[in-house]
Amino acid sequence: MIIDVHAHLGEDYVFDDVQTEEQLMAAYDEAGVQKAIVQPFICRPYIEDTRAAHDRIAAMCAKYPGRIYGMASINPHFRHAEYEEEASRCVKELGFVGLKLTTIAHAVNPSSTDGMHVFAVAEALGVPVMIHTGLGAPLASPMNIWKAAEAFRGVKIVLAHTGGNEQYGQAQLLARHFENVYLEPSWMPSTTIGAMVNEFGADRVMFSSDIIGNLLPALQTFRAQIKDVNALDWALWKTASTVYKI
- Provide mean pLDDT across the span 214-223: 95
Q: What is the CATH number of the domain that holds 15?
A: 3.20.20.140
- Name the residue range of residue 158's domain: 3-244
The predicted pLDDT at position 137 comes to 87
What pLDDT digit, counting tens, does each position of 99-139 carry? 999 999 999 999 999 999 999 999 999 999 999 999 998 99
Domains contained in the chain, number: 1
The predicted pLDDT at position 77 comes to 98
Characterize the bridge pairing of strands 3-12 and 17-19: antiparallel
